[in-house]
Amino acid sequence: MSASEPVTELDPRYSSPGAVPSPWAGAQRLLTDAELYWLSTVRPDGRPHVTPLIGVWWQGALHFCTGSEERKARNLAANDEVVLTTGSNSWSAGLDVVVEGRAERVTDADRLAGLAEAWKAKYGPVWHFDVADGAFVGSQDNRAEVFAVSPRTVFGFGKGDPFTQTRWRFV
C-alpha cells in the first residue's frame, strides 16, 4: 500500500477549458463512502468478467471478498490484475473513480479482524464476519477470501461544469 500522496495530473484533452485536477481527497472520500463497486477481472480464456460487489477502502487499499469457487476468485487465480469502479450513474454531476491494480490475498489474522470490523461498521451487522484460517467466515460457515487492491493508477472523471479527467499515479 502506498503511504505517499499520488502524482496528480489533469488530462486537458478530456477536461473543460480552464479545469483543474480533482483533489485526491475527494476520490478517497468517494472510495470510502461508496456502497457498491464494480470489479472487472479476466477469465482464463481472455474474456472479461464484471460483477458488482461491496467493499471497504481501508489503509490505502480497496478490499473485497469472494468465495473461493466464485468466477472472480477463479479468474484472480489466473490473473490478479483488476479494475474496480464506483461513482454516480449520472452524466452531468458527480465523480466516477476507476482503480487499477493487483488483487493481493489478505490472510493475516489481525488485518482480517480489522477488515471485518470495517465491513460491519460500513454495512451493518448483516455483514458480520469472523476470521479463521486466513479468511472471513460468515453465516452457515461460508468462507470468503479477502483481497486488497493497492492502487497503481486511479482515474477520476468529474462530470458537469467543469468536466475533468484526473489521473492519480502511485509511484
User: Domain of 65: which CATH number?
Assistant: 2.30.110.10
Residue 56 in grid coordinates: 471497504
Total-model pTM: 0.94
Q: Is residue 1 part of a domain?
A: no
* Domain around 162: 7-169
Q: Is residue 2 part of a domain?
A: no
* DSSP single-letter state for residue 21: P
Q: Is residue 15 part of a domain?
A: yes
Asked whether the predicted pLDDT for residue 21 surpasses 60, the reply is yes
How does pLDDT run across 73-97, given as a tens digit for each residue?
A: 999 999 999 999 999 989 999 999 9
| pLDDT bracket for residue 2 (50, 70, 90) | very low
Domain count, the chain: 1
Q: Which residues contact 115 (CB under 8 A, 6 or more apart)?
A: 56, 58, 63, 106, 136, 146
